[in-house]
Amino acid sequence: MNIEKIKMDLILNDDVDSPIDGVQEANTSHTLIDALFNSNTATLRNRVDDSCRKFFTSTDASTDLHIDDIRSKFMQFDAPAQGKSAEAYIDLLDSEVLPHCSHLASPRYLGHMTSPIPQFLPEIGRLVQTLNQNVVKMETSRGMAFLERQVIGMLHREIFRADRQFYEENLQATSSALGIFTSGGTLANICALWTALRLADTAQASESTKALSPDERPVIIGSELMHYSFDKGAQLLGAQLHKVPVNNLFQIDLDALNDAVEKYRQAGRKIVCLVAIAGTTDYGSIDAIAKICDIGKKIGAHVHVDAAWGGGLILSESNRHLLDGIAQADTVTIDGHKQLMLPLGCGMLFFRDPALSQLTMHHAPYAVRATSFDQGRFTLEGTRPATALYLHAALHIIGKNGYDDIFSKSMQRARYMAQTIETRPEFELIAAPVMNILTYRYIPEKYRNKKIDDLDNIQINRFNISLQKWQRQKGDSFVSRTFRAIGQYNNQGLTLLRAVLLNPLTTNDDIDFLLNDQLHIARLLESRIRDTPASHS
Amino acid sequence: MNIEKIKMDLILNDDVDSPIDGVQEANTSHTLIDALFNSNTATLRNRVDDSCRKFFTSTDASTDLHIDDIRSKFMQFDAPAQGKSAEAYIDLLDSEVLPHCSHLASPRYLGHMTSPIPQFLPEIGRLVQTLNQNVVKMETSRGMAFLERQVIGMLHREIFRADRQFYEENLQATSSALGIFTSGGTLANICALWTALRLADTAQASESTKALSPDERPVIIGSELMHYSFDKGAQLLGAQLHKVPVNNLFQIDLDALNDAVEKYRQAGRKIVCLVAIAGTTDYGSIDAIAKICDIGKKIGAHVHVDAAWGGGLILSESNRHLLDGIAQADTVTIDGHKQLMLPLGCGMLFFRDPALSQLTMHHAPYAVRATSFDQGRFTLEGTRPATALYLHAALHIIGKNGYDDIFSKSMQRARYMAQTIETRPEFELIAAPVMNILTYRYIPEKYRNKKIDDLDNIQINRFNISLQKWQRQKGDSFVSRTFRAIGQYNNQGLTLLRAVLLNPLTTNDDIDFLLNDQLHIARLLESRIRDTPASHS
């Protein structure tokens, strides 16, 4: 392939909507290949730039088009026979797709654990996709596979703090891994459970011939706030998932945990894994990791820390104390695409002892060979992109100090929002932020300054669902909602508004805007309810 | 956020190697956020362009640096404290990382199922990452979630050919899905097995209270060439994986399949899934899908077609007949990042009957709500990027006719290579290409024109391993190798050279070059062996 032969702008300067020439006739198909592989993409790039800029400069959280109207725009189900130019395609995206996406880059979108990513990363993404390295095996990645092990090692060291000799021996060892990349925290958690089960050599997980009755199923214990990936994993692996209540700080209740452990041990059941959460999805609360590790050690159970949300703090000198005890865990999940602001798809699982990585090894004869460096031996997934390069780039460009600064600002914003909520009689703060998540709810006027009973809460729940839906539909700002049993209300299930203060572009003004938006909507809602009381009684 | 306020080139025009200013001091941290989120990335973009071009214009398959020397370059394990400029980072990549990657874009790299991707796709990737839509739930994706269902529907229609009313009703239904995106074929296959087990309501998969002894484990049957993801899935799910031999065309032996089915039925075992392979990893061979579907129907077993490799052909009018019978399957895996040349990470699983998607549903209170449109209800994975946009773009820009042309050329190249091999007495063609994979081996001179016995094959195996390793190390061209039992040699295990003719940039000249490269290396190897016979006896 000779770069001199590039057919400039073959796709790009086509007339809009005209198909690529020569798609159907074999004798001109070289034109198609040239257009796809050897063309100058400058025009397309500028078009994509424009689309990205439009998206990045929206301050509203979404359009106000109703979801059913958006849905009606995606009803075509015939795959196109003829191709069109890349420019015509971007026209299609600009008019029919991009306006209907969520404006995650908006500083007033505080709803979920997904924010805009630093702008250098999509450029690195272009490189990742052009290189197209498949890190499942050395023959399709070479240096990139070593780079992947290297960045896994860097985070392993921040988490587990082993000595230099440990990393000199294990960083690039052939026989085991310090951790693996996964497509996300769900798979990382499932792989952790798989590892724990293999370690315990139970029949479901080990293909051994020992029969297990249901009362012999291995047991996994964590708090009721465990991510739903644990339900999936337990179901896949044939394990029993036991959920323990949380205390008023939304951490696992240690007395209840000890009781559960004792109960299963007396029944002769095998507890294969204790789960500690470092950053619950609902509240950002962090379990007492060190104490859970102590219990795990005492009973010989694997301890897994689900730090999908909070794990990034390990890079932050000012905040890493929140994760105290994590160095004693056996496995740790971190999502790079959460606090570390990498593109989606950068889950990671770390093994304190790299020998744990050998418990789930698999090989294949055409590659992923047992005696190779192939990283695919250690992963549940097979073919995988080099997402490690995003982490590598972020560690080098942002650095630990940069992350420290970003996290500290993010925590400050959460505290500001919590303080503002507490000054307003219209709101009730339910969970003050330990990290950068907080939950609260709106209290309609008639329920203020009185003791709220169960029936009141049912009405208040309805009100907050309506409020969140209206705000979402209006599209000027956004928080999510959750539904959880709350201790201070006798474990009644409450609908909570949930703000995730991840977006570094959010200012205190944006927070004020969002709360005022809610107050405005709530007052309208209250007046409607007064007008039509029957519909809400 | 105001686009007018952009601080131009804040990262990009920094002195090389100088850290971003103000990372450590809180009072200047707004500068860091601006640099990461509001900077003009034009300079960085040009640098990435240069790096991409260098990579794309390499004709060699890799550098000739020994793997241990590459490894030694990735031994640093301290995460950087201070960030550096994006330009300095690209310098680092250019000198220390990119030269050591696999040159998958080389037209002489014919080794694995990963090729360069069309150049418009990394530009779409930049958009996917800038939008950062999380398709797990509507609130973080909106229109993009409908687009995902739309392209899944387009391929579903090509596979299953249901009528228009079916798609009008199911394409954007809330309660079920026509298919799901996964991070790859491995997860798609595992989800198919999970679905089959849930359907059969076995204890491991359903959390029911029925006890299973090992002799009651549910049974999955497929050929010995099943991808190793089935081993992983069976282990995870506590099922028994039974592997049936293949015939001389490397398809599942139907008599042996019927015998296995009969054996398990007589033993009272539950067969929950039959697997048909549409494009084996080793040979590209395709099982008799229609016949396997007939057997599945007869015994009430779920039939899954692993078309990770071959499934893309469904878009090709000239080649789709190779997949005849696939419309009768219950579930089908297709990898977009194989024949369809999308970026890595675009696995898909299709359900003929969308009700199957409901068997593995899970919800979470903070989102992924039961009554929503949230796609996360149907997936094993949680948070996922909008990989659907790559497929959407490719379908619109390449179109079915474009894919037809690309596939046909790819098949032609494979036939050309097979014919060339057959004319050379030095090579033995083992598996003629059904699709665009073929396997062969080199026969050293002393084993030609004689009946090859078991001991000869052991020597020939050693020779081919050395040949493949030498060629790989030399780096001018590349094929992979596999090791499989071969019927025509009494099922002796043979080391085979494996060429994957996926790269559209490969010409017949490149194929000639590669074979001549092998002949050249083989002659050198033969002369070395003659000089030092002891080492190879």
Residue entry with tokens 């985070």: A155
Q: Choose the closest CB to B11 out of A120, A154, A204.
A: A120
| Record: contact A123-B44, CB cut-off 8 A | yes
Residue B210: per-residue pLDDT: 42
CA angle at residue A256 from A251 to A261, to 5 degrees? 115
Q: Choose the closest CB to A396 out of B84, B114, B184.
A: B84
| Record: contact A380-B154, CB cut-off 8 A | no
Q: Which of B437, B150, B412 is nearest to B280 (CA)?
A: B437
The H or E element that residue A103 is part of is none
User: Do A378 and A156 form a contact (C-beta atoms < 8 A)?
Assistant: no
3-state secondary structure of B499: strand
Q: Choose the closest CB to B382 out of A33, A52, A186.
A: A186
The H or E element that residue B427 is part of is strand B427-431
Residues of B in contact with A140 (CB under 8 A): 102, 104, 111-112, 114
| Record: contact A122-B129, CB cut-off 8 A | yes
Residue B478: per-residue pLDDT: 96
| Record: contact B472-A139, CB cut-off 8 A | yes
Q: Which of A187, A51, A396 is nearest to B80 (CA)?
A: A396
Residue A31: per-residue pLDDT: 87
- B432 and B379 in one domain? no
| Record: contact B143-A97, CB cut-off 8 A | yes
Residue A230: per-residue pLDDT: 97
Contacts of A377 (CB under 8 A, 6+ apart): A361, A362, A363, A368, A370
| Record: contact B186-A383, CB cut-off 8 A | yes
Best probe of the A interface among B10, B28, B44, B77, by most A CBs < 10 A, is: B77
The enclosing domain of A230 has a CATH number of 3.40.640.10
Residues of B in contact with A206 (CB under 8 A): 235
Q: How far A19 CA sits from the closest chain B CA (Å)?
A: 8
Domain membership of residue B411 as a residue range: 401-531
A64 within domain boundaries: no
| pLDDT band at A207; cut points 50, 70, 90 | very low
| Record: contact B130-A122, CB cut-off 8 A | yes
pLDDT at position A8 over 70: no
Residue B20: per-residue pLDDT: 36
- B146 and B281 in one domain? yes
Q: How far A139 CA sits from the closest chain B CA (Å)?
A: 7
- B465 and B375 in one domain? no
Best probe of the A interface among B63, B102, B348, by most A CBs < 10 A, is: B102
A87 within domain boundaries: no
Two tokens, residue A483: 């539904």
Give the chain B residue nearest A498 (alpha carbons).
B366
Residue type, position B433, single letter? P
Q: How far B75 CA sits from the closest chain A CA (Å)?
A: 7
- A147 and A273 in one domain? yes
A332-390 confidence digits (pLDDT tens): 999 999 999 999 999 999 999 999 999 988 887 766 677 788 899 999 999 999 999 99
Residue type, position A101, single letter? C
Residue B367: per-residue pLDDT: 61
Encode burial over B380-415: b for 16+ CB neighbours within 10 A, e otherwise.
bbbbbbbbbbbbbbbbbbbbbbbbbbbbbbbbebbe
Cβ–Cβ pairs < 8 A, chains A and B: 542
Q: Which of A204, A322, A329 is nearest to A270 (CA)?
A: A204
- B485 and B375 in one domain? no
Domains in chain A: how many in total?
2
- B507 and B376 in one domain? no
Residue A513: other Cβ atoms inside 10 A:
17
| Record: contact A112-B140, CB cut-off 8 A | yes
Residue A364: per-residue pLDDT: 76
Q: Are strands A492-500 and A480-486 parallel, antiparallel or unpaired?
A: antiparallel
Best probe of the B interface among A6, A91, A131, by most B CBs < 10 A, is: A131
- B339 and B226 in one domain? yes
B199 within domain boundaries: yes
Mean pLDDT of the residues in chain A: 89
pLDDT at position A107 over 90: yes
Residues of A in contact with B184 (CB under 8 A): 381-384
| Record: contact B235-A207, CB cut-off 8 A | yes
| Record: contact A78-B157, CB cut-off 8 A | yes
Final residue in a domain of this structure, among A328, A353, A385: A385
A505-521 confidence digits (pLDDT tens): 999 999 999 999 999 99
| Record: contact B113-A383, CB cut-off 8 A | yes
Residues of A in contact with B155 (CB under 8 A): 79
- A460 and A311 in one domain? no
| pLDDT band at A290; cut points 50, 70, 90 | very high
Residues of B in contact with A345 (CB under 8 A): 183, 345, 384-385
Region A112-121 average pLDDT: 92
Residue A361: other Cβ atoms inside 10 A:
16
What is the C-alpha to C-alpha distance for residues A394 and A284, in angstroms, rounded to an integer?
A: 23
| Record: contact A366-B405, CB cut-off 8 A | no
Q: How far B66 CA sits from the closest chain A CA (Å)?
A: 10
| Record: contact B405-A23, CB cut-off 8 A | yes
| Record: contact B37-A142, CB cut-off 8 A | no
Q: How far B486 CA sits from the closest chain A CA (Å)?
A: 14
Angle between helices B29-37 and A399-423 (to 10 degrees): 100
| pLDDT band at A4; cut points 50, 70, 90 | very low
| Record: contact B130-A112, CB cut-off 8 A | no
Least confident of A56-60, A481-485, B436-440: A56-60
pLDDT higher at A60 or B179: B179
Phi then psi for A304, rounded to 5 degrees? -110, 130
Best probe of the B interface among A24, A126, A465, by most B CBs < 10 A, is: A126
A101 within domain boundaries: no
Residues of B in contact with A143 (CB under 8 A): 70, 73-74, 97-101
| Record: contact A3-B53, CB cut-off 8 A | yes
Residue B129: per-residue pLDDT: 96
B220 within domain boundaries: yes
Q: Choose the closest CB to B402 out of A83, A366, A396.
A: A83
Q: Choose the closest CB to B123 out of A44, A119, A405.
A: A44
Residue entry with tokens 């050690």: A297
What are the distances in angstroms from CA A234 to CA A220, A303, B233, B527?
8, 15, 14, 58
Residue B4: per-residue pLDDT: 32
Two tokens, residue A389: 């390069």
Region A106-114 average pLDDT: 92
| Record: contact B73-A139, CB cut-off 8 A | no
| Record: contact B44-A380, CB cut-off 8 A | no
> pLDDT averaged over consecutive 10-residue blocks of chain B (537 residues)?
30 31 44 85 90 81 85 96 95 94 91 92 95 93 96 98 98 95 97 94 45 74 97 93 97 98 95 98 97 97 98 97 98 98 97 95 74 88 97 98 96 98 97 96 96 97 96 94 94 97 95 98 94 58
Q: How far B384 CA sits from the closest chain A CA (Å)?
A: 6
The enclosing domain of B459 has a CATH number of 3.90.1150.170
Best probe of the B interface among A106, A130, A409, by most B CBs < 10 A, is: A130
User: Do A242 and A223 form a contact (C-beta atoms < 8 A)?
Assistant: no
Q: Choose the closest CB to A120 out of B44, B55, B207.
A: B44
- A449 and A368 in one domain? no
Residues of B in contact with A483 (CB under 8 A): 365-366
What are the residues facing A333 on neighbouring strands?
Answer: A306, A349
| Record: contact B29-A405, CB cut-off 8 A | yes
Please tell me whether the interface predicted TM-score (ipTM) of this complex is above 0.85: yes
Give the chain B residue nearest A59 (alpha carbons).
B1
B328 within domain boundaries: yes
Residue A335: other Cβ atoms inside 10 A:
29
What is the C-alpha to C-alpha distance for residues B518 and B514, in angstroms, rounded to an integer?
A: 6
Final residue in a domain of this structure, among B355, B385, B415: B385
Final residue in a domain of this structure, among B361, B385, B409: B385
Residue entry with tokens 């036939």: B415
| pLDDT band at A55; cut points 50, 70, 90 | confident
B105 within domain boundaries: no
A90 within domain boundaries: no
| Record: contact B107-A37, CB cut-off 8 A | no
- B326 and B470 in one domain? no
Q: Which of A135, A13, A175 is nearest to A392 (CA)?
A: A135
Q: Choose the closest CB to A100 out of B93, B142, B483.
A: B142
A217-261 confidence digits (pLDDT tens): 899 999 999 999 999 999 999 899 999 999 999 999 999 999 999
Render A144-181 in DSSP notation, one character per residue. HHHHHHHHHHHHHHHHH---HHHHHHHTT-SS--SEEE
Give the chain B residue nearest A117 (alpha carbons).
B130
Give the chain A residue nearest B367 (alpha carbons).
A482
- B199 and B325 in one domain? yes
- B183 and B314 in one domain? yes
The H or E element that residue B453 is part of is none
Residue type, position A188, single letter? A
